Amino acid sequence: MNEKMRYDVVVIGAGHAGCEAALAASRMGCSTLLLTMNLDTIAQMSCNPAIGGLAKGQLVREIDALGGEMAKCIDRTGIQFRTLNSSKGPAVRGTRAQADKQRYRIAMKDTLEKQTHLDVKQGLVERLLVEDGKIQGVETNIGVQYKSGAVIVTTGTFLKGLIHIGLAHYPSGRAGEFPSVGLSDCLRDLGFELGRLKTGTPARLNGRTIDISRMKIQEGDDPAPFFSFTENTHPLIQLPCYLTYTNPLTHDIIRNSLDKSPLYAGVIKGIGPRYCPSIEDKVMRFSERERHQVFLEPEGLDTEEYYANGVSTSLPYEVQVQLYRSIPGLEEVEIMRPAYAIEYDFAPPTQIRHSLETKKIAGLYFAGQINGTSGYEEAAAQGLMAGINAALKTQNRDPLVLQRSESYIGVLIDDLVTRGTNEPYRMFTSRAEYRLLLREDNADLRLREQGRKIGLVDDAAYALYHEKKREIERELDRIKRTRVKSSEQVNNMLRNRGSMELEDDASLEQLLKRPELTYRDIAAISPLEKPVLPEAAEQVEIQVKYEGYIQRQLRQVERFAGLEQRSIPDDLDYDAVVGLGTEVRQKLKQVRPISLGQASRISGVTPAAISLLMVALEKRRRTGGSQPKTNA
């Protein structure tokens, strides 16, 4: 049998984006090839051994609801699970897990290898094959060509990666790995604009040389929360993290070595993330602080390596040794892998559509860090959507574009393609204008149907979702209709909860609206023969307690929906729109928004400009302007 040289979809790079992309496309029935530089670094976590957190947890749950893999993989290989913000409202709770890095990687590789329609091969892609503005395939550094009408580039930090440690620097895609140089040049030759970003990672320390007795222990939650809607066990032993602090001595060491910092010496040109500064940045920018937190996170069960969260740096190795050893509990520490900063090329994401297909070359998709994002979850979310959309395209189906009002994934992609980014983009809950609607707990209610429709949600998962949904509806209806009469027993309970006693009667729903009462309380007043699923009970409680705010956000969504639905054809001639200012015109031409809603989010586009666009669109419609192309 000849080797297969033609695929429906080819994915370049098996990072977090690439893995989701390859799985989605193949699960949707496309013959798919995943090509990556090194099969032993599939789904490698380049930086911290953790998945989830605020907004990121939401992304992981959404990936799961749509039928992606990340949530399942981390549930199976996590060694500590916590819910952040558990004291705040449900919309801003975030699940976070410490991962066993190696097991995560191996579990993902295993899933990929077992996937039908998917081939996983080692290979370094150097060239994209393009004809007539359409992608034709890829070519590796050893001259092998694979043909395909859909190619997804998910090369992470590897494009012209340049590692800095002190004033020393060398080309590398990630510590110990080659950079990807040819592909970067090829993209430039194809006419893509590339920019430069920077990120960094702290040292890995040998746990045998850490004195944990001087640190605060941080355990996971018990019971441990889950990311996936369908997983129900955490098979691995759970481990704690440790908290210690830097001190004035640490800060002096840093201040005295700034001349050897590539950042401060001006060697690094790329822009780094503000939310993930190096320790030298923190010390310089917040000089009044006497200490900064250092979290020591285990990298896995089969290793002594610890990740020193909070002290990423690009200072020279000898300074790193000094600075880590100035921290209480780390006096004797051995660095196993030094901290470093890395600069890399990215493609400013206003060059892609909401489907993640590039505007320039049909069938070519970008996902993950190449689009200027940072973070495993952001990468995985884009990978999933690129895989879905590449598959849909090969099947001649419309692209799947998620709305800002239904998902963080929608916010992520819309932000990228609308505004671009000039620092590594990370998701925050504050980026979502409908934050109260986009919760971890309802990711399935928001997205399962869509996952099912494209063919990524299996029967079992879909049935589970349906059952939950049915129970929520039934219980919401019941508590609305069930009235509780004033009685000694009920009033006793109310008094115990510090709640007002009943004079005559009230519905269960009215009682649940009281801040001091929980669903459990009202379920106890009027118990069901068979209690509802805990997930359903949680939904009932949230939907009743936050109804006012939820309704308010829903009204905002509705108010804006008219603009979101008004699509702008891809070939609208902005030069012919009378009255637009030059700057606005320029921006519109660059972004080419798909809807008036998106246009309104471009910085500088005023309501008046939107009015002008409306008139232009109507004019075009009446003159029977060429049929709007489907675009995304």
Ligand X SMILES: Cc1cc2nc3c(=O)[nH]c(=O)nc-3n(C[C@H](O)[C@H](O)[C@H](O)COP(=O)(O)OP(=O)(O)OC[C@H]3O[C@@H](n4cnc5c(N)ncnc54)[C@H](O)[C@@H]3O)c2cc1C
d(CA 17, CA 308): 25
562 binds, among ligand X, other proteins, none (CB under 5 to 8 A by kind): other proteins
d(CA 33, CA 151): 9
At its nearest, how many Å lie between other proteins and the CB of residue 272?
Answer: 11
Q: For the sheet with 94-99, list strands across it.
A: 50-52, 94-99, 78-84
Residue type, 196: R
At its nearest, how many Å lie between other proteins and the CB of residue 247?
Answer: 13
d(CA 452, CA 184): 36
**Binding positions for other proteins, 253-312, rule CB under 8 A:** 274-277, 281-282, 285-286, 289, 291-293, 295, 309-310
* Residue range at the interface with other proteins (CB under 8 A); choices 149-157, 256-264, 355-363, 557-565: 557-565
622 binds, among ligand X, other proteins, none (CB under 5 to 8 A by kind): other proteins
Own/partner pairs, 50-53, CB within 8 angstroms, 24+ separation? 50/96, 50/97, 50/98, 50/99, 50/297, 51/78, 51/96, 51/97, 51/99, 51/227, 51/376, 51/377, 52/94, 52/95, 52/96, 52/97, 52/227, 52/377, 53/84, 53/94, 53/96
Selected binder of other proteins within 92, 362, 464, 554 (CB under 8 A)? 92
At its nearest, how many Å lie between ligand X and the CB of residue 279?
Answer: 13
First-to-final CA distance of the chain: 39
292 binds, among other proteins, ligand X, none (CB under 5 to 8 A by kind): other proteins
- Contacts (Cβ under 8 Å, ≥6 apart) of 59: 377, 378, 380, 381, 408, 409, 412, 427
570 binds, among other proteins, ligand X, none (CB under 5 to 8 A by kind): none
**Binding positions for other proteins, 592-611, rule CB under 8 A:** 596, 601, 603, 606-608, 610-611
DSSP states along 264-285? TTT---SBPPTTS--HHHHHHH
368 binds, among other proteins, ligand X, none (CB under 5 to 8 A by kind): ligand X
Helix (H, G, I), strand (E, B) or coil at 368: helix
Task: For CA atoms 594, 595, 598, 599, give the dihedral sign.
Answer: positive
d(CA 188, CA 445): 42
99 binds, among ligand X, other proteins, none (CB under 5 to 8 A by kind): none
Residues 406-445 as x/- pattern, contact with other proteins by CB under 8 A: ----------------------xxxx-x-xx---------
At its nearest, how many Å lie between other proteins and the CB of residue 220?
Answer: 14
d(CA 208, CA 344): 34
CA nearest neighbour of 72 among 112, 117, 28: 112
Give 358 or 421: the residue with its C-beta nearer to other proteins: 421
Contact between 85 and other proteins (CB under 8 A)? yes
At its nearest, how many Å lie between ligand X and the CB of residue 324?
Answer: 17
Give 157 or 598: the residue with its C-beta nearer to ligand X: 157
- Which residue ranges make up the site for other proteins (CB under 8 A)? 54-55, 84-85, 88-89, 91-92, 274-277, 281-282, 285-286, 289, 291-293, 295, 309-310, 428-431, 433, 435-436, 549, 552-553, 559-560, 562-563, 577-579, 596, 601, 603, 606-608, 610-612, 614-616, 618-619, 622-623
